[in-house]
Amino acid sequence: MAVYLDHNATSPSRPGVADAMAAALAIGGNPSSVHGFGRRARRAVEDARDEVARLINAKPETIVFTGSGSEANALAVKGVSCERIIVSAIEHDSVLHNADAELLPVTCDGVVDLAALEAMLGADKRRTLVSVMQANNETGVIQPTAEAARIAHRFEALFHCDAVQSAGKIAVDVAALDCDLLSISAHKLGGPQGVGALYVAPHILLDAMIKGGGQERRRRAGTENVSGIAGFGFAAKLARENPTDEARMSALRHRLEQRIKRGAPEAIVFGAAVPRLANTSLIAMPGVSSEIQVMAFDLAGIAVSAGAACSSGKVEPSHVLLAMGADEKLAHSAVRVSLGWTNREEDVDRFVETWSGLYAMRRKPAAAPVA
């Protein structure tokens, strides 16, 4: 039986999400139309907007629906008027590749350097946007985003938080984080793929990237993905009412990492010394490339990844691990295990057994040449 350990890439749809989407599809109207079909479609969108807002302790009118978390990130860094952008060196590519930004360094444990942020903001008084993710998608390391926001605001900078990987796993509260913008995505918390959202604080003027219609209060043109948004809303409701069992996830991850380290002391768990998402473990098997490991696990019926799902097809080592000071060879030997609501102890044990078998094969001495 296949084992799915790649919830940070996409968490399988929660029960009831597909039904909510099917009900929205059956409405058949355009939410911008004024007739009954349109009004019912609009109601489905606005009900979902309310649920997504409640998940992050926001007002519904501050939520802009997008086509993905990546689009939400791009809209955040491109949609505000700033002369300067600072982003952490471990941000998702959708932040890094959409901004001509200065990089904020991180420690060897993968935590943003707040002293460096303060120094960077103090050295240049131009209007600035700072972007720091709440939890890293590869290592799971939780960032001091509330503290970073306080520093940013002290220097009159705006603050964006990418909460795509953290929403549904830990508390996401826009008031507690004191952020001006925040990105989330449906499929990371058991909703459908192809729909995300950007929280935009009431005082923020946002320039739409996609123009041509009045949808989303003129912040994102295009007919809304009614069924996807309805599924997002249902998943957000489930995440709020039945949050991830962090204790169970943490116990599973501890079981996995403890057994790996017991049999392979040279294995490296990145970010293990600092707070992480309870479901995430990024483990290096020195001497074996992440591509070989991912293929070996796949052949064994186990799904893991070599890093961010949007980048897993590339052969370059993780920019996150390089930013943490890992050398290229080590960075190119890590695989990410991300647990979720579908996983049990037997899944962890299958992974450990396969990992240990691959590790043992690597350590076997080469066979003597045939005479």
Active site residues: 310
Residue 328's CB: how many other CB atoms inside 10 A? 12
Contact 334, 318 (CB under 8 A): yes
Phi/psi of residue 190, nearest 5 degrees: 90, 15
Q: From the DSSP assignment, how many helices (H) and strands (E) are in the chain? A: 14, 12
Which residues are registered as beta bridge partners of 235? Answer: none
Phi/psi of residue 167, nearest 5 degrees: -60, 130
Residue 64's CB: how many other CB atoms inside 10 A? 25
Nearest to 280 by CA among 4, 6, 27: 6
What would the two tokens of residue 1 be?
A: 């039986």
Residue 69's CB: how many other CB atoms inside 10 A? 27
Helix then strand then coil, % of the chain, to nearest 5: 40, 15, 45
Contact 336, 305 (CB under 8 A): yes
